[in-house]
Copies of this chain bind each other. A is one copy, B any other.
Amino acid sequence: MSIHIQVQTDDFNVGDEHNTLCSNNKSDGAVVTFTGLVREFSSGDNVIALELEHYPGMTEQLLQSIAEQAQTRWQLARICIIHRVGYLALGEQIVFVGVTSRHRQAAFEGAQFIMDYLKNHATFWKKEHFKDSSNWVEFKQSDKQALGKWEK
């Protein structure tokens, strides 16, 4: 079992990360990835960029702990979590979560669990930049509700 956690300003390459998850891995039949991107429409106005900051040290620990929790609940041989910080323009990649498992159900659920927990617990803060203004993103209740399905 392996866990790879990375918080970085640099971009990442989904193809490369996918290859790393699959290489020398003959027992896993399922790979699920999630990629989050800076998208155009948020709360009405046109977002032109995001700015992300985090709590260095604590963030990595939290992501590691979320990945370990996922491995306790599902048979996930490999987990990769990459989260970018800094100034990210429209269309840029923000976050990557990739997991491998023997079974597709576990891979889907594990990846979704990690994203739901990351959204609720990982110490990142996001600011949206518009043409003439900027504002800090508010925590979304829908993200809190998303945790409901894992609490049983």
Contact = CB atoms under 8 A, between A and B. Distances in A.
B104 A34 contact: yes
A35 B31 contact: yes
Given A13-B15, A108-B111, A31 B34 contact: yes
Copies in the complex: 2
Q: Is the interface of A mostly helix, strand, loop or mixed?
A: mixed
Contact of A29 (B18, B39, B107): B39
A86 interface: no
Contacts of A13: 15
A5 interface: no
A117 to B, nearest CB: 12
Contacts of A30: 34-37
